Amino acid sequence: MITPAQRNKLIAAARAARQRAYAPYSKFHVGAAVLDERGRIHVGCNVENGSFGLTVCAERNAVAAAIAAGAARVRAVAVFADEAASPCGACRQVLAEFGGLGTDIFVASPQAKGHDSLTLHGLLPMQFIYRDPARAPFGRRRPRGRRARA
């Protein structure tokens, strides 16, 4: 859980990042900010490309900035767009990689009187999580059992 002051700073950072979005094709400007495990805020904006598949969303750019700065976890995310918009499916999955089920997500826009508060689990209840079958949670090796004979 984050404080109201942290939430407000996060939304303000996402609003400011939106101003730097590169969106000449869709004209849909998005800014995002993530709060890391040390309380630092990292921002990103959407960057479109003429080859549309190469466009990168604001949320993924914010996560990349956090990781590049040495963050390991994302505690909260704010998305500020021309119209209220929650993270896309790809962004939700990236947030699942670095956040937890309870990661707070705040969605705001210039027209909104406030913001919507969501959780990552509410947006992506069945996220894909890679698990190495040779390892148990927290890095312990799973005991080897007997193999069934065919």
Active-site residue set: 59
Q: Do residues 124 and 99 lie in contact, with contact meaning Cβ atoms separated by under 8 Å?
A: no
Q: Take residue 136 and report the two structure tokens written for it.
A: 């148990």
Using a CB cutoff of 8 Å and minimum separation of 24, what contacts does 37-40 make? 37/71, 37/72, 37/73, 37/75, 38/71, 39/6, 40/66, 40/69, 40/71
